[in-house]
Amino acid sequence: MIRRFRPIWFLLAFITAGCMSTQQYEETTWVTTVMDHVRAQLLRGYEENEALKSHDGRVLVRIQVDREGRIVQHAIEQSSGLALLDEAALKGTIQSSPLPKPPASLKQDKDLIIIIVPVQYQQRL
């Protein structure tokens, strides 16, 4: 079975209000940690590639993560329209593996977890 996550930042408000279960909190925290981990790797690649700095675009990258935090599959969910940006997002994503291991609440009933990571590229002048 596969579980999909999309970043939902407003859920953090429920945490402080006490409306989120421990399981939901662990899962939300893990997704945020994974997204930060992937984005940090993408930033390293961006800083090293001058060609990327002259383009704008948004890429959605879909990653499938196993129970050990390994990326077993990755693909473009939504293209930026520029092959250069799409390829950089895929390369950076696979280089970020392994990811932090999923929380125990996900491990018990899921074989693979799907996360959609938004990647925003902006020109630097």
CATH number at residue 49: 3.30.1150.10
Q: Per-residue pLDDT tens for 71-115?
A: 999 999 999 999 999 999 999 999 998 999 988 777 555 678 888
Q: What is the DSSP letter of 111?
A: S
Q: How many domains does the chain have?
A: 1
- State which residues form the domain around 32: 2-121
Q: Per-residue pLDDT tens for 11-67?
A: 444 444 455 677 778 888 888 899 889 888 887 777 777 777 788 889 999 999 888
75 CB-contact burial (10 Å; exposed 0-12 / middle 13-18 / buried 19+): exposed
Angle, alpha carbons 105-91-102 (nearest 5°): 5
